[in-house]
Structure 1
Amino acid sequence: MSNTLFPIFLKTEHLRFLIVGGGNVGLEKAETLLRQNPNIKIKVVSKNFGEKFKDLLNDHPHIQYFEKDFEEADINDIDIVIAATDDKVLHQKIKYISNSKNILVNAADQPDLCDFYLGSIIKKGNLKIAVSTNGKSPTIAKRLREVLDGTIPEEIDDILNNLEHLRTHLSGDFKNKLEVLNKITKILSDHPENIESYLAYISQQEQ
């Protein structure tokens, strides 16, 4: 199967998520969403909630939760659904109902029922990288995340902010701006450990 996925980054401030499932898988999905936006709008429906999930709900009182079986009405006013139970028949029902209302679904461990995948995410300030294996191996995606997370320095956010500042102050045409930015990135490529060289170059350009 060819990889036809189209990566996008969603602005979570404008979206409402429904998680069906109060066990470890549902907890993992909720934690993933909260890491991206602590104020993200989440509703959780589950007949039972694990103790760790209950702790999460206590720590995030803005999350709506209902201890009951899933019903079609739970999808009302929802933008994205995550099915996180061990009931494959229920997941099929959730996907059918959601898709009939033009709502996208992610079903845990069931790629054939997924309209999208939740990739492993590397977050360093404004830098965000999502890793996907096209549903083949979440474990590999997690390992790649660990490698990249340990490789990319924390200072990358300062670099991004300074590059943005420099970009808005550079004069000349596009070609000139590109040449200056290329020189900066070459410094970082040749000496990634030498942040001071980069900052000195920035100061020279702003004078």
Structure 2
Amino acid sequence: MEENHLFPVFFKLHRLQVLVVGGGNIGLEKANAMLENCPQANVTIVSMDFLPELTSLTHQYPNITLVQKSFSCGDLLGKDLVIAATNDRELNYHVWETAKCSKVLINVADTPDLCDFYLGSIVRKGNLKIAISTNGKSPTVAKRLKQVLQEAIPDTIDEVLNKLSLIRDKLTGDFSAKVKKLNSLTDVLVKSERDPL
């Protein structure tokens, strides 16, 4: 049976340099996804043309840079992640080849075989963030699961997280003792309504 062997990672985009190649709808979608999750993301977008919405983003987010030119190898200098976001398959493949030669992680939009990482569906409630992956099989299922989880997780979860953070900071003992105490405190989160307390 096939399994999902992806390793989930949460990037601190404010510490990284991201290159997006493509100034159209796909580039806009990818830029918005990053900025929704990290408004301080450092993103450079290279394209010959830009949607007006991308130009507007530069006024709202100071760490977004638009560079009006054709993609070249030099665009990868100092970059940590690259997203090829054009509707030109040949150009996307060229960006992929260049990124692989430069040892830069790349995502080629809608081409799972050319992706080192995916941009999954994200559920956000305050400090809680859950990424959903279907291993590239069905973004639609990921979207539906996102809706279910968004509704199922209470809006008060951030209060719980903040209180547990304060408790964790005050706990004494070794790592194992702290984990045991926190597991005991959070057991109520996984008990079903039928379980006796």
Q: Normalising by structure 2, what TM-score?
A: 0.88
Aligned to 2:85: 84
Secondary structure at the aligned position of 1:45 is classed as: strand
Q: 1:69-91: CA deviations, max 9, x gaps? A: 11111111111000110011111
Correspondence list, 1:1-207, <5 A? 1-171=2-172, 177-178=178-179, 180-190=181-191
AA aligned opposite 1:82? I
AA aligned opposite 2:36? R
Identity of aligned residues (%): 47
Distance 2:62 2:122 in 1: 25
Q: CA deviation at 1:62?
A: 2.8
Q: CA deviation at 1:185?
A: 2.3
Number of aligned pairs? 192
Distance 1:166 1:77 in 2: 40
Please state which structure has a larger fraction of its residues in helix.
1
Secondary structure at the aligned position of 1:5 is classed as: coil
Distance 2:64 2:40 in 1: 9
Given that 1:24 and 1:53 are in contact with CA atoms closer than 8 Å, whether structure 2 keeps it comes out as: no
Deviating more after overlay: 119-128 vs 25-34: 119-128
- The gaps in structure 1 that reach 5 residues or longer are 193-207
Secondary structure at the aligned position of 1:22 is classed as: coil
Secondary structure at the aligned position of 1:4 is classed as: coil
Distance 2:169 2:190 in 1: 22
After TM superposition, the runs of 4+ consecutive aligned structure 1 residues lying more than 3 A away are: 170-183, 186-192
Deviating more after overlay: 61-70 vs 80-89: 61-70
Secondary structure at the aligned position of 1:13 is classed as: helix
Given that 1:18 and 1:78 are in contact with CA atoms closer than 8 Å, whether structure 2 keeps it comes out as: yes
Secondary structure at the aligned position of 2:130 is classed as: strand
Given that 2:19 and 2:44 are in contact with CA atoms closer than 8 Å, whether structure 1 keeps it comes out as: yes
Secondary structure at the aligned position of 1:30 is classed as: helix
AA aligned opposite 1:66? V
AA aligned opposite 2:18? F
Q: CA deviation at 1:147?
A: 1.4
Q: CA deviation at 1:170?
A: 3.2
CA RMSD of aligned residues (A): 2.1
> Max radius of gyration: which structure?
1
Q: CA deviation at 1:176?
A: 5.8
